[in-house]
Amino acid sequence: MDIDSNCFKAFLAACQTLNFTEASRIVGMTQSGVSQHVAKLERDLGAELFLRVGKKVILTEAGMSLLNFVESYQDSVSNLKDEIQESTATLRGIVKYAMPATCLLSPHFSLFLEHKRSHFPDLELGVDLCASEEVITRVLAGEINFGFVTKKVLNDELDYQSFCEEEYVLVTNSKSLNVPSEWSWITYPGSNVLKEAWLVKQEAKLLKSMSMKVTGQTNSLHAALAMVSQGLGVAVVPRHCVEVSDLRTTLRIHEIGKRPVRNMIYIVTLKSVTKPRRVLVAIETFHQIKKM
């Protein structure tokens, strides 16, 4: 059964005025035109919509049902228009997020920048590099819209979305691996989380004999890799960071366990905050890139 939505305007005016003459003035057509539109709806539905009492009309039960339908239909059309306009509107404003320096060297970040340049060039990015603990602190303080972290901190205010896994490897500047008791460590922001994730996957006897001595500290991942390349110590870093580093020819990845050491990266946000569309689009873009 088809209902001609072109007749809805006259029908609503008739419902509002309960007078076809007044309804005709509202919609800018003749009285007979209003009557014809109402009559067409009645034929389409197979029921009377109005009872005529002189110049006045009264809505029937069928008329009330149609009135509820038309009002709901108009709301749905309005919502659809708003949704389409919002989805096609140019994204503007700033999206603030933070992540460990290791994430900066991942392929996801460069792919996101490429997507941003072509799809929402007017969007401004505010990207800070800091360890996972600081990322979470800044999310809780409302300083950033979201962040990438290498480890969850249990907090009812936080929402975590699994993003991707990264592989952690031990790097030195030597082709042969020294005796564990001789190892000294190079640290950088967030390295303790990575080292802990790597250590728990190793054999117990290896952990007992391993030195925890720190011989180098820096606030830069690149500087940490430079120290390792010069033989100052060893470090645990994501494999992709070594593979794209300009120092990769002087760094050596060592496989110790039988299986790769993998760890989940999460996108963390505040549960209680309504996210602007630009933030939702940015997060969804990262998830789309992950599937490439």
pLDDT tens track for 51-101 = 988 767 899 999 999 999 999 988 888 877 766 666 655 678 899 999 998
pLDDT tens track for 10-48 = 999 999 999 988 999 999 999 999 999 999 999 999 999
Please report the pLDDT score of residue 203 as a whole number: 59
Q: Phi/psi of residue 166, each to 5°?
A: -125, 155
pLDDT tens track for 136-178 = 999 999 999 999 999 899 999 999 999 988 999 889 888 877 6
> In this model, does residue 214 exceed pLDDT 90?
no
| Dihedral Cα 24, 30, 33, 34, nearest 10 deg | 10
| Position with higher pLDDT, 211 vs 272 | 272
Domains and CATH numbers, the chain: 5-88 (1.10.10.10), 93-292 (3.40.190.290)
Please report the pLDDT score of residue 181 as a whole number: 55
Please report the pLDDT score of residue 282 as a whole number: 92
| pLDDT band, residue 266 (cuts 50/70/90) | very high
> In this model, does residue 215 exceed pLDDT 90?
no
User: Cβ distance 92 to 140 under 8 Å?
Assistant: no
Share of the chain above pLDDT 90, in %: 46
Count of all residues that appear for the chain in the document: 292
Query: Beta partners for 252?
Result: 172
> In this model, does residue 180 exceed pLDDT 80?
no
Please report the pLDDT score of residue 82 as a whole number: 66
Please report the pLDDT score of residue 213 as a whole number: 81
User: Cβ distance 245 to 251 under 8 Å?
Assistant: yes
> In this model, does residue 207 exceed pLDDT 60?
no
CA distance 68 to 17: 16
Please report the pLDDT score of residue 46 as a whole number: 92
User: Taking Cα atoms as reference points, which of 233, 275, 246 lies closest to residue 91?
Assistant: 275
Mean pLDDT, the chain, whole residue set: 86
Please report the pLDDT score of residue 292 as a whole number: 63
Q: Provide the phi-psi class of 46: left if phi over 0, else alpha when psi is between -120 and 50, else beta.
A: left
Please report the pLDDT score of residue 257 as a whole number: 67
| pLDDT band, residue 279 (cuts 50/70/90) | very high
pLDDT tens track for 113-135 = 998 888 888 889 999 999 999 99
| Position with higher pLDDT, 228 vs 193 | 228
